[in-house]
Amino acid sequence: MSGGPAHVTGPVVGVLALQGDVREHLTALAAVGAVPRQVRRPEELAAVDGLVIPGGESTTIFKLAAAFGLLEPLRERVRAGLPVYGSCAGMIMLADKILDPRSGQETVGGIDMIVRRNAFGRQNESFEAAVEVAGVPGGPVEGVFIRAPWVESTGAAAEILAEHEGHPVAVRQGRLLATAFHPELTGDHRVHRLFVGMITEAGGATGADGA
C-alpha cells in the first residue's frame, strides 16, 4: 500500500443491449457502484462479472440474441454461475419455461420457474403497486408493471422474494434474480443494490486495486 486512498471499484456489470430499457439499467448500476457496460457481442459478455437483461420485448430480445450469436454463450455463462438479473422481459428470458410464447420463442433459462407472458396485461396494461421484496431493506419498492409477466409456478430451488395479488413477481435462484416489474424506471436503486451485492458475494468485485 502506498498510503494513498485505495481504488475500490465495483464489479463490471453488463446490460444486454439488444432492445429495451438499457440506458435506465446502466444508470441504476452506476448509482450503486458497479461499472456498467453494454453487451452486444460474445466477447463483451465474456468480460463482465454480472449481467442485466432489461425490460422490453422478450420475443425481440430472443430473436436478436440468436442473430448476434449470444444465446448459447448466455446459456453457458448462466450454467457456469454468472450472476444475472432480469426485469420483466428479462425475467421471461431467465425462465426455464414460458407460457404463451410467440412461436419459436426460446429463453436463456436458469431459474426453475414457469412464467406467463403478459399475465397482468390482460386486466391492466400497466400499473404501479407497492411491493415488499425479501432481501430489500427499507420498506416496499414501487413496482412498475408494464405488460408484465407473473410466475405461474416455481421449482424447489427457486425462492419467491415478492408477490403481488397472490402471484410471485420476484424470484431468486442462486445467482439469478428476476422481477416482473421495472425498478430501473423508478430512481429507487435498492433492487440493483441487492443484485450487485449478489455479484460481490460471488467474488465478482475487483475490490481494492493492487491489494
- Residue number with CB closer to ligand GLN (56 or 109): 56
Cell readout for 202 is 460471488
56 binds ligand GLN (CB under 6 A): yes
How many CB atoms sit inside 10 A of residue 197's CB? 14
Catalytically annotated residues: 88, 182, 184
Helix (H) or strand (E) holding 146: strand 141-146
Strand-strand pairing, 141-146 and 167-173: unpaired
Single out the segment in contact with ligand GLN by CB under 6 A; choices: 68-76, 86-94, 107-115, 131-139. Answer: 86-94
Identify which of residues 57 and 76 has a Cβ nearer to ligand GLN in the complex: 57
Residue 35 or 129 having the CB closest to ligand GLN: 129
Is 92 a binder of ligand GLN (CB under 6 A)? yes
Alpha helix ranges (H) inside the chain: 22-31, 42-46, 58-67, 71-79, 89-94, 190-201
Judged by CB under 6 A, the number of residues near ligand GLN is: 11
Q: Is 11 in the site for ligand GLN (CB under 6 A)?
A: no
* Minimum separation from the CB atom of position 80 to ligand GLN (A): 25
CB nearer to ligand GLN: give 83 or 149. 149
Compute the distance between CA of residue 119 and CA of residue 154 in angstroms, rounded to an integer: 16
The residues of the shown chain that bind ligand GLN, judged by CB under 6 A, are: 55-58, 88-89, 92, 117-118, 146-147
